[in-house]
Amino acid sequence: MESVQAIKQRFGIIGNTPGLNRAIEKAIQVAPTDISVLVTGESGVGKESIPKIIHQLSHRKHNKYIAVNCGAIPEGTIDSELFGHEKGAFTGATQTREGYFEVADGGTIFLDEVGELPLTTQVRLLRVLENGEFLKVGSSKVQKTNVRIVAATNVNMFEAIEKEKFREDLYYRLSTVEIHLPPLRERQEDIHLLFRKFASDFALKYKMPTIKLSDSAVQVLIKHRWSGNIRQLRNIAEQLSVLEQNRTISAETLMSYLPNSSSNLPAVIKTSKSESDFSSEREILYKVLFDMKSDLNDLKKLTLELMKSGNTKDVEKSHEGLIQKIYGNESNDDEADYEEETAHSSEVLSIPEHTIHREAPDPVTDKYHFAEEIEEEETLSLQDKELELIKKSLERHGGKRKLAAAELGISERTLYRKIKQYDL
């Protein structure tokens, strides 16, 4: 069995922190077996090195090693990529195609960003892990494969399981052995070593002198949080190598390349997503439904009180705020329309005082007054009929204006004005 140091030299791994050494030791130990391995760690920590070590130290090293970035393949085609498809299985499938599990038979498949797999694909993958069987898309013929699966993810798998984005049974099948790679901020003694290695590589690549850091720049380098980990450190080294004329980099120069370099405050690490999820669509929907229920209860209370009291003006005064909340400006508009209509009606139906109280009318005038009285009686009779119809309709429909208005053949707004007019 090769030593950890030998593996580092063979695969170009820089660093000597305990967390890194422990990860490499576990990779060496599980390599000769066919155990499924899950590599975890933040983005940019170098998770892709572990599957290569496992494959090269296993009995499968002479067979194929295929790395698949699950997050980069569209959801609609990932099943076809992994398991293949039959001709005519879907639009554009002009010929039968072998998937990665068929091509890598006898070898190793590295599933990077496995946490991004769709749930339907997770079911297919679970079947492969359990008995080595899979179906091509569009086929009913079961095929067998013998592959070693090593997966990697930067997703918090327990949160994904809790949110039903990842199958719990698949997680435990993948993580028979879990190898965790620490973030760069936990490998402070390795940061300068890595930077010097990158600076040397870029000097060779671009045929220019190697950049060096001043003592103060080294301290800035070590204290930075490196949220992008090794990938971010490599990018900074490349930028400095290409852009800086002075090959000795000062602290000020280095800080100008680092994001948020003016602040060394600790980063906020999310321990739970329950707080951020409070504003999710589900919570917003619940809030809207509760508000609607509250409004409905208020409306029921208002209607019941109106039915019991029969006095719309008193009810309106005591529940002015509630009516404004439910009907908005409509109630104000109705009141203005009602006042205007009432004023107009009073003008039309008003009878001159001298025609009623004249004590000694002549015969001609008498006749005229008699016609006026008949007209007034008929008008009042029509109003009485209208009032009676409205009352009956409201009683029949339990005070529901909408149903009563529909039965009477008038709009709900007109009915509202009539209710106020007759003080129902």
As a whole number of Å, the end-to-end CA separation of the chain is 97
Does pLDDT of 351 surpass 50?
no
pLDDT at 396: 84
Predicted local distance difference test score (pLDDT) of residue 308 = 64
Q: Which two tokens stand for residue 316?
A: 């309106």
Distance CA 130, CA 393 (A): 71
Q: What is the pLDDT of residues 81-118, one digit of tens each?
A: 999 999 988 888 889 999 999 999 999 999 999 999 99
Residue whose structure tokens are 């190793």: 108
Q: What pTM, to 2 d.p., does this model score?
A: 0.61
Mean of pLDDT values over 39-54: 96
Task: Using alpha carbons, select from 112, 103, 1, 123 the residue that is nearest to residue 56.
Answer: 1
Residues facing 37 on adjacent strands: 150, 177
The DSSP element (H or E) to which 270 belongs, if any, is none
Residue among 53, 211, 197, 83 nearest 145 (CA): 83
Q: Is the pLDDT at 365 greater than 50, yes or no?
A: no
Q: Which residue reads 């917003």 in tokens?
A: 284
Q: Is residue 267 pLDDT above 70, yes or no?
A: no
User: In CATH, what class is 185-257?
Assistant: mainly alpha
Q: Are strands 148-153 and 108-112 parallel, antiparallel or unpaired?
A: parallel
- Whether residue 186 has pLDDT greater than 60: yes
Q: What is the structure's pLDDT at 405?
A: 83
Tokens 């993958």 sit on residue: 125
Considering only 33-42, 194-203, 369-378, 386-395, which range has the smallest mean pLDDT?
369-378
Closest CA to 133 of 120, 121, 142, 141: 142
Question: What are the strands, taking DSSP E only, across 6-81?
Answer: 37-40, 65-69
Q: Mind listing the pLDDT tens digit for each residue in 18-30?
A: 999 999 999 999 9
- Which tokens is 360 given? 């000694």
Q: Name the region of 320 (left: φ>0; alpha: ψ -120 to 50; beta: rest).
A: alpha
- Close Cβ partners of 225 (under 8 Å, ≥ 6 residues apart): 185, 264, 266, 267
CATH code of the domain occupying 4-182: 3.40.50.300
CA–CA separation, 112 and 71 (whole Å): 8
Strand partners of residue 179: 39
Least confident of 57-61, 290-294, 309-313, 340-344: 340-344
pLDDT at 200: 96
Tokens of 91: 């639009």
Q: Starting from the edge strand earliest in sequence, which strands make up the sheet with 148-153, in order?
A: 65-69, 108-112, 148-153, 37-40, 177-180
Residue-range domain boundaries for the chain: 4-182, 185-257, 281-421
DSSP secondary structure letter of residue 108: E
